[in-house]
Amino acid sequence: MNITRIIDNTNSIKKMIEECKTAKFQNVADTYLPIGPTTIEKQGLDWPSVYKAIIEISFNTKSKLNNWPEVQSKLSEHFSTNRETRDLISIINEIYLNSTGLRDITPLAYLVCEKKSNARTNSMENIFIGLLSTPGRGDVKDEGNNLLEKLVIEALKSNCIANNNTNSKKTYLPFLSELFTKDIEELKSSTSWFVDEFENLIELYSFLYLTHLSISIGVPRLRYDLPKSQPLYFILENETASKDRYECNAHGYNYIFSKTTGHAKKIFPYLGYLNWITDQPLWDLLQDDSPSLTQNINHLNSNISILFNEPYQEALDYKSAVEKGLDIQYRVIMKTDRKTANEKVVNVFHDVFSRNFITNRRSAGSYFELKSSTLMLLTNLVIGKGNKLLIDDVVDAFKERGIWLDILSKNALLKFYESVGNCEKLSDSGDAVYVKSTI
């Protein structure tokens, strides 16, 4: 933990006390949180820039062409000066030399984008760069479905260079990093599959990242341990919900979004407090329980308390001091006009990042839900191209990714696989059931 950082921030707060300016007290949480304290219209999160950053790392390549006019000009010139393709230039321009046409045939099309730099976009880029535990090998295997597509892709590749990014970003959730890297590499095994599902995969992992970050930071017993997949229960799109389903109700939607006990409302103030004392994940801090560290955190907490007229009693060790600091920051947020800012963060988390994973079952309440399209994407990712797995192994692979199913959802999952025809029973009793890939 950086003592100098703590001392500098304590001095800044002392100055606020002297000037009686609580308005200068900022809750900055953008190192690990891609949501700011504004409405979604003002967030400024530019997804094309995020996609570009992910592709650059995953394929270890970047484009020398940054916008579509450059692509059209460069590739039109390339095909016009070639005797074998100059008569095809009008067809190539019409079908492929635009963002939609090229993106339908190659992931490299995501590289053609003028990056927009703002806090939310930079945060999300860094989060996904951190989730890619190792850079890709740069093996862009896509060759198109016909000769014309092959020529267009080769021309685009000729305008790409090695990325050579050292990927030094740290993720808050290493277990999710390992699995995201594995899944993106599996997706790369088929170009058509990649271009169809890439954005859906990013949406899924954005949601999983935020929910499990909320759990890792929000649950006191988990804060100082290396994060791992924690119970977070989903139901399937076509199954019945019920208030009697304990796991889905205790560790599902309400676990994150309950207005009284949900962990989502803590993520912004807690990360804001941690930013006062470190730029590292809390679990990654040196377990240094020195009197000097505890004293400096107490000093910081005391000055925050003085600024906002909150009571404070010094802690005896650094973990207790951190816990007290988290509590103070949360109370400050909730008792001032910053409460509205926190509500905006939670609303964007709920209404934007979680919208495709929530279902309202009326009297039964709200649940996290796996749509059939998401279910098939996950299934094919965990099984691998052309292979098969026992259904229990498939369920365990979902759990590794932070998607848990109770016994009723497991039964519904088996029925789903039977309905789409990728299920293989080795005995009439159904003791051994294999699920096959559909790729």
Report the pLDDT value the prediction gives residue 89, as an integer from 0 to 100: 87
- Model pTM score: 0.94
pLDDT digits (tens, 9 = 90+) for 266-299: 999 999 999 999 989 999 876 666 788 899 999 9
Structural element, H or E, at residue 423:
strand 423-425
State the average pLDDT for the chain: 91
Q: Tokens 């009686």 sit at which residue?
A: 20
Ranges of H-type helices in 61-173: 68-80, 89-95, 99-103, 119-131, 147-157
Report the pLDDT value the prediction gives residue 146, as an integer from 0 to 100: 86
| Residue 96 token pair | 């492929």
∠ CA 50-56-61, nearest 5°, is: 160
Spatial separation of the C-alpha atoms in residues 68 and 77, rounded to whole Å: 14
Return the sign of the alpha-carbon dihedral for residues 318, 323, 324, 326: positive
Single-letter code of the amino acid located at 131: L
Neighbours of 74 (CB within 10 A): 17
- Dihedrals phi, psi of 436, to nearest 5 degrees: -100, 150
pLDDT digits (tens, 9 = 90+) for 51-60: 999 999 999 9
∠ CA 376-377-380, nearest 5°, is: 80
| pLDDT category of residue 427 using cuts at 50, 70 and 90 | low
Report the pLDDT value the prediction gives residue 137, as an integer from 0 to 100: 62
Spatial separation of the C-alpha atoms in residues 343 and 399, rounded to whole Å: 30
Report the pLDDT value the prediction gives residue 90, as an integer from 0 to 100: 86
Beta-bridge partners for 366: 360
Spatial separation of the C-alpha atoms in residues 338 and 26, rounded to whole Å: 9
Rounded mean pLDDT, 313-340: 94
Report the pLDDT value the prediction gives residue 51, as an integer from 0 to 100: 96
pLDDT digits (tens, 9 = 90+) for 247-259: 999 999 999 999 9
Q: Tokens 């170009």 sit at which residue?
A: 191
Ranges of H-type helices in 158-315: 174-187, 191-218, 246-250, 253-257, 264-277, 291-307
386 Ramachandran zone, left/alpha/beta (phi>0; psi -120 to 50): left
- Look at residues 322, 324, 304, 323 and name the one whose alpha carbon lies nearest to residue 313: 324
pLDDT digits (tens, 9 = 90+) for 375-425: 999 999 999 877 899 999 999 999 999 999 999 999 999 999 999 999 988
Neighbours of 101 (CB within 10 A): 16
Report the pLDDT value the prediction gives residue 144, as an integer from 0 to 100: 79
Structural element, H or E, at residue 369:
strand 366-370
Task: Tell me the HSE value of 397 on the side-chain side, using a 13 A CA sphere.
Answer: 21
Report the pLDDT value the prediction gives residue 368, as an integer from 0 to 100: 98
As a whole-number percent, the residues of the chain with pLDDT over 70 amount to 95
What per-residue string of b and e applies to 230-255 under the rule 16 or more CB within 10 Å gives b? bebbbbbeebebeeebebbbebbbbb
